[in-house]
Amino acid sequence: MNDLLLRQVRIVDPGGPHHDDTVDVLVRDGRVARVGARLQRQQATELRIAGLHASPGWVDLRLRVPDPGHEHVQDLPNALDAAAAGGFTAVGILPSTSPVMDGRSGVEYVLRRTAGHAVRALPIAALTKGCKGEQLSEAYDLMRAGAVALSDDQHPVRNTRLMLLALQYALNFNGRVMSFPLDPDLVANGLMHEGPMSVRLGMRGIPALAEQVQVARDLALLAYTGSRLHIATVSTADAVALIRDAKARKLDVTASVAAHHLLLDDSALSGYDTHYKVMPPLRDATHVAALREAVKDGTIDTITSDHRPEDVEHKKVEFPQAAPGIIGTETAFGVAATAMKGRLTVRRLVERFCHGPRATLGIDVPHIREGTPAEVTLFLPETPWTVAASDLVSRSRNTPFIGQQLNARSVGILANGRAAASPAFRHQLAC
């Protein structure tokens, strides 16, 4: 990366030396060389965008990238390119590939395939072999190989004793178990949130109880073991209440919510559009309000994209046959900012994208200070834009947000000695 001078950028860096300052930042040889007022440009490329903000790099905890196995849908380099466009400097790669990332070779494949990219890949290895919930994976070996956490993605561990053993075992090496909060027996082939809308549409519902029961069980096991647990993609008010109580009892629990669950409710399904089919399902407005309040008060630590690419053959079908999931890395920040407008400050929003996920994984915050490697996200927190297909880097296009207006957007990132921008700003961040 050539020298880059950021002009009049607002720093959002809680705990850092320049938080809330509007300054110039000179990045040289991939490091923050100078921070101050009216810095000399010299040979640096100058970036001046009205309303530009900078923060320590954001982390996305949940990307399902079907590489290896179905690289035609999306491969790892393309997924990291999309993450960079969305403002993420590091992303958690889920284990539900083909074959499943349940051995050292799978973790090493991810690290080797993504080496040298601006975005750092963080392998999240399988908690059980094959994500089948029958036998624990070699967790310690996976962590030594470079995995940052253990999860079976959207395959809940049915066997309560196995989940207990997983939490106990993780204590031995300070591991973090990530659980998916849906009881599969209560889901029972449901297609959407159980409520008046599911009755009106004639589709089998997934009750909020399915999430409540699973979260209650996992929190009870956490209390018994004294281990560490992350509850991923919470979607209901009852789960929020349970997590809030667990935190009050000082249990070591963190939680995330997908950005789309903060903005959309089950009324979006009225047209049977499969782009809105996700798992957990979009809930009703009461649950959405509870999620927003939980993000605001810190009960939910992290906002994630829950990025799940699918090809058209798995989306452009009848609703019951469609695969759940949307791509989200490019739009997650804009979606979350739109949902939380007037409810959350820019500082708190950055904390949910940066500090929350880093605390969950035990990764330091790369504060913006002179002499440190630049790991920076550049963004516009109050710039409305309409999402166009040309704004997407992801090979897959399964998103409901094309054509919708969002209230904030990412500009790009500086990380690993490189600069990467979203398509709309590539000509300005070319250095």
User: What is the block-wise mean pLDDT of the chain (431 residues), using blocks of 10 residues?
Assistant: 93 97 97 96 93 98 97 97 98 97 98 97 98 97 98 97 98 95 96 98 98 98 98 98 98 98 98 98 98 98 98 96 97 98 97 98 97 98 97 97 98 96 90 64
* 301: annotated active-site residue: no
CATH of domain 4-54+369-425: 2.30.40.10
Whether the model clears a pTM of 0.75, i.e. scores above it, the answer is yes
The residue among 318, 324, 321, 333 whose CA lies nearest residue 382 is 333
Whether the Cβ atoms of residue 414 and residue 375 lie closer than 8 Å to each other: yes
The residue among 256, 289, 214 whose CA lies nearest residue 63 is 256
R_g of the chain computed on alpha carbons: 21
Secondary structure (3-state) at 305: coil
Q: How is the chain split into domains, by residue range? A: 4-54+369-425, 58-361
Angle at 215 between CA 211 and CA 218, to 5 degrees: 145
Catalytic residue among 13, 265, 306, 391: 306
CATH of domain 58-361: 3.20.20.140
Q: Scan for tokens 């030594």, then name that residue.
A: 144
What is the Cα–Cα distance from 67 to 73, expressed in whole angstroms?
9
Give residue-wise pLDDT tens across range 242-261.
999 999 999 999 999 999 99
The pLDDT of residue 297 = 98
